[in-house]
Structure formats: structure tokens, C-alpha cells
Amino acid sequence: MAYALYVVSNNFLYNATRLATLAVGGSLALAGAVTAEQLTAFCFYAEFLASALLSVCDQWGPIMEVSNACFWDLRAAARFHKLWGRRCCCRCATSGGPSWR
């Protein structure tokens, strides 16, 4: 549910940015403040920037998943070492038993 809300908000903001660009640029073009060429260049620039930001936001979800998994793995390792009371040398499985330093 949270991921769906995240995707919907990203797409909404992306399309709202495009709409605001066209609305503000169109009103400036009608007022004569910018030429049609400048407006077109600015719209392409805004489209490029918004799509690049949307791509970054699409990668943010997997980055958060990986960091959360890493956090829980480190927490489990800390619990393991706390349970044994000493630091394991990480040769437990290969040597047939814990080997303490």
C-alpha cells in the first residue's frame, strides 16, 4: 500500500510539473514575454529534468529496501554475537564449531 502511494505521488508530481510548466510558459508566451522558440526549449528542458528526477525516485525504493535488509542483517548478527558473549571469527560453519579469537 505504501509503495502504491509512493508511485502515485511520484506520477502526480511529474504530471503536475508538466502542467505548471505549460501553464506558466503559455501565459508568458501569450503576454509576449518569451518567444515560441524559448518556450519550446524551456518545455523540453523541464520535461528532461522532470523525467530524470522521476527515474531517480524510481530507484529510491530499491535503495531503501536494500538498506532496510542490511540493517536487519546487522541487527541479527549483533544478536548472535551477544548471545555467544564473544566475537565469532566467522569460521563456525567450516571448522565444525565456533573458533574464538
> How does pLDDT run across 20-66, given as a tens digit for each residue?
988 998 899 899 999 989 988 988 888 888 888 878 877 877 777 77
Q: Are 100 and 86 in contact (CB under 8 A)?
A: yes
**Residue 88 burial (CB count, 10 A):** 14
Kindly state whether residue 44 falls inside one of the protein's structural domains.
Answer: yes
∠ CA 91-96-99, rounded to 5°: 45
Domain enclosing residue 82, as ranges: 2-88
- pLDDT of res. 33: 92
Kindly state whether residue 101 falls inside one of the protein's structural domains.
Answer: no
Q: What's the pLDDT tens digit per position in 80-89?
A: 666 655 555 5
Kindly state whether residue 99 falls inside one of the protein's structural domains.
Answer: no
What is the tally of structural domains in the chain? Answer: 1
